[in-house]
């Protein structure tokens, strides 16, 4: 790689890292992010497919985690001794956060669900419960949580509607908390096809549906849920010169992440007569 290319890449990541720092501060996530860092100092094994090994990706993931846990905290304030299941969890990090933040609520039970046996073993090695299962087949397992967490999972599924309806109709879940990538306009992912990359892909590394908030709202209502709260985390600050990084995020990553706190509600799902 040429020196000028190295310099460009260095400046690019410096700019996006600065954007993330200001974004976290302006959206009130700094304090929680620092608390989460103390609870789980090392998140290098967060994903099965790659290691988090530099400051940019560490901060990027920490900010997302703080956003996600901020949603969880709003629910746990009102539930005593819940069973919490993290669907698609590959490291147990979120459950360790929850246990660390809510250690006084000793009746909390946490478990993870993942189809990857290596991820399941990694989670169990940390002293957590884990079930090896495809998220689409969750109804075949005795997993009855009060709160399901579903972080950056729906966009990977072939049939998110059936999955969401299964959680609503065949479990006792009171709440479901989801986060998905935020886009201003919906699109189909399948980027390996878009880019003509002829290679094997799997559910973990492939996005299928990348929808805007309005379309996700319709999906969850159709599938047996009502929206308790909507929240948006942007990876850039709105009120700063660094807000111009919006265009870099849009081109090379995502503008941010959209979060929903959902409550089971079959009002709209009853109108659809062809659920499996």
Angstrom distance (rounded) from CA 123 to CA 145:
18
Instruction: Provide the b/e sequence for 3-42 (b: ≥16 CB within 10 Å).
Output: eeeeeeeeeeeeebbbbbebbbebbebeebbeebeeebee
Report the percentage of the chain scoring pLDDT > 70: 98
Q: What token pair was written down for 151?
A: 């972080």
CB 176 within 8 A of CB 265: no
Give domain status of residue 137, yes or no: yes
Supply angle C-alpha 75, 164, 222, rounded to 5. 100
Q: Which of helix, strand or coil describes residue 218? A: helix
Domains contained in the chain, number: 1
Give domain status of residue 253, yes or no: yes
Note the pTM of the prediction, 2 decimals.
0.94
Give domain status of residue 230, yes or no: yes
Give domain status of residue 276, yes or no: no
Angstrom distance (rounded) from CA 234 to CA 273:
38
The confidence score (pLDDT) of residue 105 equals 67
Beta strand ranges found along the chain (DSSP E)? 83-87, 109-114, 129-132, 147-151, 175-182, 187-188, 209-210, 225-234, 256-264
Instruction: Provide the b/e sequence for 59-89 (b: ≥16 CB within 10 Å).
Output: bbbbbbbbbbbbbbeebbeeeeebbbbbbbb
Give the pLDDT confidence of 152-182 residue by residue, as tens digits.
999 999 999 999 999 999 888 999 999 999 9
Give domain status of residue 194, yes or no: yes
Give the pLDDT confidence of 200-257 residue by residue, as tens digits.
988 878 999 999 999 999 999 999 999 999 999 999 999 899 999 999 999 999 999 9
Give domain status of residue 151, yes or no: yes
Q: What token pair was written down for 72?
A: 């969880």
Q: Which of helix, strand or coil describes residue 154? A: helix
Give the pLDDT confidence of 123-145 residue by residue, as tens digits.
999 999 998 987 767 767 777 78
Give domain status of residue 166, yes or no: yes
Give the pLDDT confidence of 21-58 residue by residue, as tens digits.
999 999 999 999 999 999 999 999 888 777 888 999 99
**Residue 63 sits in a domain of what CATH number?**
3.40.50.150
**Segments in 125-234 forming alpha helices (H):** 160-170, 191-194, 213-222
Give domain status of residue 62, yes or no: yes
- Range(s) of the domain holding residue 248: 3-271
CB 109 within 8 A of CB 86: no
The confidence score (pLDDT) of residue 166 equals 92
């Amino acid at each position: 790689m040429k020196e000028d290319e190295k310099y460009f890449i260095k400046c690019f990541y410096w700019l996006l890292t600065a954007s993330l720092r200001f974004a976290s501060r302006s959206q009130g996530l700094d304090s929680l992010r620092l608390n989460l860092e103390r609870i789980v100092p090392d998140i290098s094994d967060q994903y099965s497919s790659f290691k988090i090994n530099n400051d940019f990706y560490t901060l990027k993931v920490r900010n997302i985690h703080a956003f996600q846990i901020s949603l969880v905290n709003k629910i746990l304030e009102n539930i005593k001794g819940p069973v919490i299941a993290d669907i698609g969890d590959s490291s147990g990090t979120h459950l360790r956060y929850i246990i660390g933040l809510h250690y006084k609520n000793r009746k909390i039970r946490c478990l993870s669900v993942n189809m990857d046996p290596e991820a399941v073993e990694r989670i169990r090695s940390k002293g957590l419960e884990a079930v090896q299962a495809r998220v689409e087949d969750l109804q075949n397992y005795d997993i009855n949580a009060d709160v399901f967490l579903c972080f950056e999972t729906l966009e990977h599924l072939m049939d998110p509607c059936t999955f969401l309806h299964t959680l609503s109709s065949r479990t006792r879940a009171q709440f479901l908390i989801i986060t998905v990538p935020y886009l201003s306009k919906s699109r189909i992912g399948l980027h390996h096809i878009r880019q003509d990359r002829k290679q094997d892909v799997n559910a973990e590394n492939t996005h299928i549906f990348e929808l805007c908030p309005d379309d996700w709202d319709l999906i969850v209502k159709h599938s047996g849920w009502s929206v308790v709260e909507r929240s948006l985390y942007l990876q850039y600050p709105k009120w700063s010169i660094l807000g111009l990084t919006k265009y870099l995020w849009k081109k090379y990553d995502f503008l941010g992440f959209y979060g929903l706190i959902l409550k089971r509600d079959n009002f709209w799902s009853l109108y659809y007569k062809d659920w499996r």
